[in-house]
Amino acid sequence: MHWIDPDSLPEVAGIFERFVLNPHGEVDGFVMKDKQAAVLVHTPPHMEDQLTRYLSVGDKVRVRGVRPRGAELLAAVAVTTATGRQIIDEGPDHDRKHPKVKHQPMAADGTVQMSLFGPKGELRGALLSDGTVLRVGPKEAEHFAALLAPGAKLAARGDGLQTRYGRVIHALEIGPDPERLKPLKKPKPKDKKSKHDRDEDARAA
């Protein structure tokens, strides 16, 4: 059970637009429209089954959650559907495992609709205007924050999945366009010594 009482939190209402996926293809949030603004809501993957069962595009939805500092995000503790069903974060199911999925090479190119964040407000990727979810590690995301900001032109290449709830790509390279992609992680420096030199060093030691 979540340590925060959802009734103690303010409620935000909106219209459900789409689910957001993690690199395993699991639902770990959604986007809703609050008046004219889009709101990113984070939900843990163990809430996926109930959320996908009871939420549909265009439904009214209400969320009680917390807002991390420095991020346009609402981390949900409870979600109430249009029919009044309340879906509460009861804590992780420790026996739950990530689904076995087969990733394949994928690429994307478009405009960032919104930045994506983890539950503590850490930058974790971007949602493109065509609905593609791009996921990036938090350390790498810090270095490429400008490319992950709303309105930025962004191209990416990596390992992806197509699910019934959308497309997600775990980005390995990103850039402002397909011709200027850069790897997110720097290659590890190779040991310049030859095997013979290493053997000599070992004997000397």
pLDDT in tens, 13-69: 999 999 999 999 999 999 999 887 899 999 999 999 999 999 999 999 999 999 998
User: Among residues 30, 26, 48, 24, which one has the least CA distance to residue 127?
Assistant: 30
CATH 3.30.160.20 fits 9-88, yes or no: no
pLDDT band at 84 (very low <50, low <70, confident <90, very high): very high
Tokens of 39: 């709101």
Q: How far lies 113's CA from each of 41, 51, 73, 119, 180, in Å?
A: 15, 23, 14, 19, 20
pTM as predicted = 0.84
Q: Residue 192 above 70 pLDDT? A: no
Q: Residue 78 above 90 pLDDT? A: yes
**How many beta carbons lie within 10 A of that of residue 113, not counting itself?**
17
Average pLDDT over all residues of the chain: 89
**How many beta carbons lie within 10 A of that of residue 78, not counting itself?**
20
Q: Residue 1 above 50 pLDDT? A: no
Rounded to an integer, what distance in angstroms lies between the CA atom of residue 27 and that of residue 44? 8
Q: Are 62 and 74 in contact (CB under 8 A)?
A: no
- Summarised one tens digit per residue, pLDDT across range 119-155 is 999 999 999 999 999 999 988 998 999 999 999 999 9
Q: Where are the domains of the chain?
A: 9-88, 104-182
User: Among residues 147, 151, 134, which one has the least CA distance to residue 180?
Assistant: 147
pLDDT band at 205 (very low <50, low <70, confident <90, very high): very low
Rounded to an integer, what distance in angstroms lies between the CA atom of residue 63 and that of residue 33? 12
Query: Which residue is associated with the tokens 């790897």?
Result: 183
Write down how long the chain is: 205
Rounded to an integer, what distance in angstroms lies between the CA atom of residue 23 and that of residue 17? 20
Give 112's strand partners: 128
Q: Please give the biggest Cα pair distance in the chain.
A: 76
Instruction: Provide the CATH number for the domain formed by 104-182 in this structure.
Output: 2.40.50.140
What local confidence, expressed as pLDDT, does residue 6 receive?
A: 85
**How many beta carbons lie within 10 A of that of residue 118, not counting itself?**
19
- Tell me whether domains 9-88 and 104-182 share a fold: yes
